[in-house]
Structure 1
Amino acid sequence: MERRVTEENKYKQTSLREKSKFYPRHMLSKEIEAFDQIITSEIRKEEKKPKRNRPSNLSKEENVALKECDTKELIVKPADKGGGIVILNKERYETEALRLLGDQNVYKILRGDPTVKITNQFFSYLDKGRELDILKEEEHLYLKVKYPRIPVFYYLPKIHKNRANPPGRPIVSGIGSISSRVSEYVDHLLQPVVIQTPSYIKDTMSRLKELEKIIWKHDLILATCDVNSLYTIILHQLGCEAVEHFLKELGKFEEDQIEYLVEGIKLILENNYFWYGGQYYLQLTGMAMGTRFAPSYANLFMLYWEHQMVWAGHGWGQHL
């Protein structure tokens, strides 16, 4: 089929492509091969040594503690905040995981593995993007995950809320999953939009610099607000509506590419499946904390709220 001709640079495209496997021949030498053989030999020698002779990064007390407990019954996870390490009893960990997954408004148990069906949907979506010339050939090849991994559920303990019985923050590890690279593609296109918004703050230092510009008066109050479980409460329709709204407001995307991006977001959101404890689950609302485009998506959703509740009448587009 003859591909239709499109205008140069009509669509916003990315630099995503498979990593090159090219290795310059002039980099190959007998010296490099000899070095490789020496290192490989040393590694094998270390592997053959008894474990008791290997160096340890644990103290004597820590080693004793590990020997006295059944490590198969322990779950080790990083804390949700603060950078600490949390060691939980396996039974307690699973109880909290099942409590989270038991919310039928958010999660649904599937009868079987939906990987093949969902893979076909993503491949059809990507083929459509290539046919429309929205995707370059390099992007098209990169975004197709030929041997996808099944996403896995876990959670991070919120010990800042309860040290004895910490609630969990649900995470879906989707590295290598069928949606992982499409999520990366969407994020590459949404990030520049988020960065240009008037309320965007890069990090703590950026926030401090902004505060320095303010002339404080006696009647000013510094206040913050927080959204409870933001990632899981965003309705698919509202989230996609927010993204579509700001992509159109920006005026730098073609109409058909906006439709294509929103279609891709819906595809990710509606097929957010994962495995835990011998069961396949589907997340019904919100998005998985762990997917690449989640922060950009959540930021645009919150901006949509700000646009209606805070910036109404100011016209955010004039800040871009």
Structure 2
Amino acid sequence: MMLELPSPITAEYRNHALLDPVESLETAFSVEIDMYKLQRTLYANEYRKEDPTYQPNPFITKEKKDIKSNNMTIKTYVQTIHKDALKIIKTPPKHRPNLTLDEKAALQDLRDDANIVIRPADKGGGVVIQSYQQYKCEIMRQLNDTSTYRKLTYDPVLAFQNKIQQLIDMGLQAGYIDSNTAKYLLNPEVNGSCTQRHVIRASYREKVVAKATIHKVEKSYAGSK
């Protein structure tokens, strides 16, 4: 069986020059974590390739248990990558600055200027520079726009959580999702970024609500006959 072995060594490690012992230990520890994740992923892929019926489910919390394998190809590959990664991070990169001393000083002066605010533009990848007073006035203008915003008298997070819990319970009881998926949707520490979790959960809640509504309508229609 042939395995596709990815190359995890990127410029990320080269960009983290080790300038003191603390940074050295932190970066070396990060390498150990990355190597463990790489090895675990390769072992998992090897296991899944032996099962042609396997289908990944993004709505299940990943298992935390360790995965073992006797595949020497994977072990040798990971050991080689691990050795190269440690060698890279222990060698400070050689680079030339693309700014003169005057340019660096000018940028630092702008950064330290408390009278201006520098922010990335919403669109186009540009940079917006505003006076602090203008920036503050615009923030207050938007927040005081009562036609758009309403001041809350309480924290609505708990109410939202209860609604989400009810929707997931409805989907679980109706058989639209299983217990693993329900656990995934209710677990705040699932794998993936915060944005990905919110998008996935929102899309899944929409499906559950839609199916539950259809089920309710069909049941009501059947009862009226």
Give the TM bin, normalised by the shorter chain.
0.3 to 0.5
- Give the structure with higher Rg (CA): 2
Structure with the higher fraction of residues in strand conformation: 1
| TM-score of the pair, normalised by structure 2 | 0.47
| TM-score of the pair, normalised by structure 1 | 0.36
Structure with the higher fraction of residues in helix conformation: 2
